[in-house]
Amino acid sequence: MLTGIQIAVIGGDARQLEVVKKLTELDAKLWLIGFEQLDHAFSGAVKEKIEDVDFSEIDGIILPVPGTNTEGKVETIFSGENVYLTEEILASTPAHCTVYSGISNKYLDSITTNTNRKLVQLFERDDVAIYNSIPTVEGTIMMAIQHTDFTIHGSKVSVLGLGRVGMSVARTFHALGAKVTVGARKSEHLARITEMGLEPFHLDDLSESIKDTDICINTIPYQIVTAAVIAKMPAHTLIIDLASKPGGTDFRYAEKRGIKALLAPGLPGIVAPKTAGKILANVLSQLLQEDLKQRKGKTI
């Protein structure tokens, strides 16, 4: 349980509602900042303006998946007002106050470092990335269906990268009957691809390997689908780039060649906000409970 714990939830989208639901069930006291336009009420959670929250009592701050922008502004889809997380606010929190965010940037790194507050990036965790790969794959399937006039079954799908997303994508498209090839650069990844019953290729041979591909799904956050690679693809190839912005595709050249290339960020929040929210809520409740246990241990 999280009885006695006070948490500021700043901004976010539908995913954050699952977090609020879970934490209030665990008896935490929540301050919801940037939620004025939300109709729903949660017992144990109070909607408040950021300037009216007493941060000296706050044990944890939960930011939405993108964290803040480079000026400290937090995305708030349930509010018409701008909300900023500043160094001054963090400095007014107790020393043990932890900031939880999906990802970070220079601004968030700098204000947490300057105030000596712990920052937890949830999306750096393997468990979150693997759970999140499930709705990501479902969103990828949706895009493949929407943007092609052929079935996934029987088509040639080239997956680039065998990380947490790449592995789930490759396995699922294979299960749907696609002929899946997977490109990687590490010998152990090539071995794993073979073990999975898929066809491996080294990324050095990418241009050759995508010559007859119908759908190319990139998960590598690095310029990998270059103009030279796109030039070798059949004209009907669909590129779905899942890598974080700006993706790994030369979109300018793809457009010039008339190849459909789609950058598809944030699929879990789009296709399954409830599940994506539950993934975050589960890991956050676990982390907050561990934190509380540790602090209680220290004071005994």
Strand pairing class (118-121; 73-74): unpaired
244 binds ligand NAP (CB under 6 A): yes
**Nearest residue to 19 (alpha-carbon basis) of 60, 71, 57, 80:** 60
Contact 232/210 with Cβ under 8 angstroms?
Answer: yes
The window from 151-159, 171-179, 182-190, 227-235 that contacts ligand NAP (CB under 6 A) reads 182-190
Site string for ligand NAP, 110-129 (x = CB under 6 A): -------------------x
Interface pick for ligand NAP out of 9, 63, 165, 233 (rule CB under 6 A): 165
Element (H, E) at 192: helix 187-195
CB nearer ligand NAP, residue 185 or residue 295: 185
DSSP helix/strand/coil, 35? coil
185 binds ligand NAP (CB under 6 A): yes
Instruction: Measure the CA–CA gap between 108 and 179, rounded to whole angstroms.
Output: 43
**Length in residues, the chain:** 300
105 binds ligand NAP (CB under 6 A): no
The window from 5-13, 40-48, 143-151, 259-267 that contacts ligand NAP (CB under 6 A) reads 259-267
CB nearer ligand NAP, residue 85 or residue 243: 243
Residue nearest to ligand NAP (CB): 163
Q: Which amino acid is at 150?
A: F
Backbone φ/ψ region at 12: left (φ over 0), alpha (ψ -120 to 50), beta: left
264 binds ligand NAP (CB under 6 A): yes
How many residues bind ligand NAP (CB under 6 A)? The answer is 25
Output the CA angle 292-296-300, nearest 5 degrees. Answer: 175
Contact 32/68 with Cβ under 8 angstroms?
Answer: no
CB nearer ligand NAP, residue 161 or residue 200: 161
The window from 21-29, 37-45, 107-115, 157-165 that contacts ligand NAP (CB under 6 A) reads 157-165
147 binds ligand NAP (CB under 6 A): no
CB nearer ligand NAP, residue 32 or residue 242: 242
Contact 254/230 with Cβ under 8 angstroms?
Answer: yes
- Smallest distance from ligand NAP to CB 282, Å: 17
Contact 158/183 with Cβ under 8 angstroms?
Answer: yes
Binding site for ligand NAP (CB under 6 A): 129, 132, 136, 161-166, 184-186, 203, 219-222, 242-244, 264-268
